[in-house]
Amino acid sequence: MEIAKVGVVGAGQMGNGIAHVLALAKYDVILNDVSQDALSAALSQIEQNLDRQLSRGKISEDEKAQALGKISTTLKLPELGATDLIIEAATERETVKTAIFEDLLPHLQPHTILTSNTSSISITRLASRTDRPEKFMGFHFMNPVPIMQLVELIRGIATDEPTYNSCLGVVEKLGKTAASAEDFPAFIVNRILMPMINEAVYTLYEGVGSVASIDSSMKLGANHPMGPLELADFIGLDTCLAIMNVLHDGLADTKYRPCPLLTKYVEAGWLGRKTDRGFYDYRQDPPVPTR
């Protein structure tokens, strides 16, 4: 199926990044959120990110103008029913995602494909709550979306081949690379990445190293571009904890037990960059470790 119009649910960090790359690839995009402030902030962020690409010679003035012209916004979820593909990028809570899909169902065209940008929740389970499990997939972008080259495509147990091929075609048109993942907790990237981050938090919790020494060790000793605790702050400690809980609950293996220190930071509301404090305090420049 030829996909021309795409709906994006959620105008946060992931949603606005997804809208950005879709619009640059000449898709008509409808961006939805429950908050007008969030939609306004998303459009401002998209323009800033396009300006950054423009300044680096990645895009032209015409491409920037065309991309901005491809994006419309709405507070009304039913308006996304007229699209060919919907990418849900709301908060990483299954109850929220399920409610969104239930609200969309009466308004969809028969051919509309439903997808979720979830980083860990069962695609099969989400799909089973809809009227089209064969036209439902995981469409997991990496953050920040305009920069990261990978998209995980996750088939649920009922996903059919035309749906997969349509989504693969979108990834290719975006100029990104698709990795096909099976529908098991956290898929590929987070199945490997989150336990590493969790182990870094355990290393801090047990006093093996400080925040600075752990991050320096992985940057300089393993050639990682960002230390694991710095990366956790960038992702959001609440997101890291949620994914570890999905792994622990879904696989019932104690090696996925979330570190108590990670839980404590989330309980404190120290979620990383988005709250100005996590393993680093971002109210200071440069940021300083909080432990």
150 and 219 share one domain: no
Which burial class, exposed, middle or buried, applies to 46 when counting CB atoms under 10 A from its CB (0-12, 13-18, 19+)? buried
177 and 195 share one domain: no
The pLDDT of residue 120 is 86
The residues, ordered by sequence, that sit 6+ positions from 80 with a Cβ below 8 Å of its Cβ are 7, 9, 30, 32, 74, 86, 104, 107
- Contact status, residue 89 vs residue 15, Cβ threshold 8 Å: yes
Categorize the per-residue pLDDT at 26 as very low, low, confident or very high, splitting at 50, 70 and 90. very high
> Which of 58, 75, 76, 74 lies closest to 21, judged by CA?
58
127 is a domain residue:
yes
26 and 85 share one domain: yes
Catalytic-role residue among 120, 122, 190, 198: 190
Which of 146, 181, 216 is the last residue in one of the domains?
181
19 and 159 share one domain: yes
Cis peptide upstream of residue 106 (ω within 30 degrees of 0): no
31 and 169 share one domain: yes
> Which of 133, 130, 87, 85 lies closest to 109, judged by CA?
85
Which of 149, 181, 213 is the last residue in one of the domains?
181
The pLDDT of residue 288 is 97
28 and 118 share one domain: yes
| Whole-number average pLDDT of the chain | 97
**Mean per-residue pLDDT for 259-264?**
98
Task: Summarize pLDDT for 126-142 with one digit per residue, the tens.
Answer: 999 999 999 999 999 99
271 is a domain residue:
yes
Catalytic-role residue among 152, 166, 198, 230: 152
**DSSP symbol at 189:** H
Domain of 270, CATH number, reads 1.10.1040.10
Task: Summarize pLDDT for 197-231 with one digit per residue, the tens.
Answer: 999 999 999 999 999 999 999 999 999 999 999 99
As a whole number of angstroms, the distance between CA 278 and CA 270 comes to 5
166 is a domain residue:
yes
217 and 198 share one domain: yes
210 is a domain residue:
yes
186 is a domain residue:
no
The pLDDT of residue 46 is 98
101 and 239 share one domain: no
As a whole number of angstroms, the distance between CA 197 and CA 112 comes to 37
Catalytic-role residue among 116, 119, 122, 166: 119
**Mean per-residue pLDDT for 70-82?**
97
160 is a domain residue:
yes
As beta bridge partners, residue 5 has 28
Exposure of 29 in the CB half-sphere (CA atoms within 13 A): 31
For the cut 80, the answer to whether the pLDDT of residue 77 exceeds it is yes
In the residue annotation, 223 being an active-site residue is answered as no
- Contact status, residue 137 vs residue 166, Cβ threshold 8 Å: no
CA–chain centroid gap for 142, Å, is: 6
61 and 105 share one domain: yes
112 and 39 share one domain: yes
Categorize the per-residue pLDDT at 145 as very low, low, confident or very high, splitting at 50, 70 and 90. very high
Exposure of 119 in the CB half-sphere (CA atoms within 13 A): 25
Catalytic-role residue among 116, 140, 166, 198: 140
206 is a domain residue:
yes
In the residue annotation, 140 being an active-site residue is answered as yes
CA–chain centroid gap for 282, Å, is: 22
75 and 205 share one domain: no
The DSSP bridge pattern shows strands 150-155 and 113-116 to be: unpaired
Categorize the per-residue pLDDT at 74 as very low, low, confident or very high, splitting at 50, 70 and 90. very high
User: Could you list the residue range(s) of the whole structural domain that residue 34 is in?
Assistant: 5-181
Task: Summarize pLDDT for 36-53 with one digit per residue, the tens.
Answer: 999 999 999 999 999 999
Domain of 120, CATH number, reads 3.40.50.720
45 is a domain residue:
yes
How many folded domains does the chain comprise? 2
For the cut 80, the answer to whether the pLDDT of residue 184 exceeds it is yes
The pLDDT of residue 1 is 76
As a whole number of angstroms, the distance between CA 159 and CA 212 comes to 45
As a whole number of angstroms, the distance between CA 176 and CA 166 comes to 14
In the residue annotation, 152 being an active-site residue is answered as yes
Structure tokens that stand for 205 in this block: 């919790």
133 and 115 share one domain: yes
Task: Summarize pLDDT for 85-125 with one digit per residue, the tens.
Answer: 999 999 888 999 999 999 999 999 999 999 999 988 999 99
Which stretches of 70-188 are DSSP H helices?
Answer: 94-104, 123-128, 161-173
Structure tokens that stand for 156 in this block: 């649920």
- Contact status, residue 75 vs residue 32, Cβ threshold 8 Å: yes
- Contact status, residue 237 vs residue 194, Cβ threshold 8 Å: no
As a whole number of angstroms, the distance between CA 148 and CA 146 comes to 6
- Contact status, residue 219 vs residue 226, Cβ threshold 8 Å: yes
Which of 181, 210, 233 is the last residue in one of the domains?
181
The pLDDT of residue 121 is 92
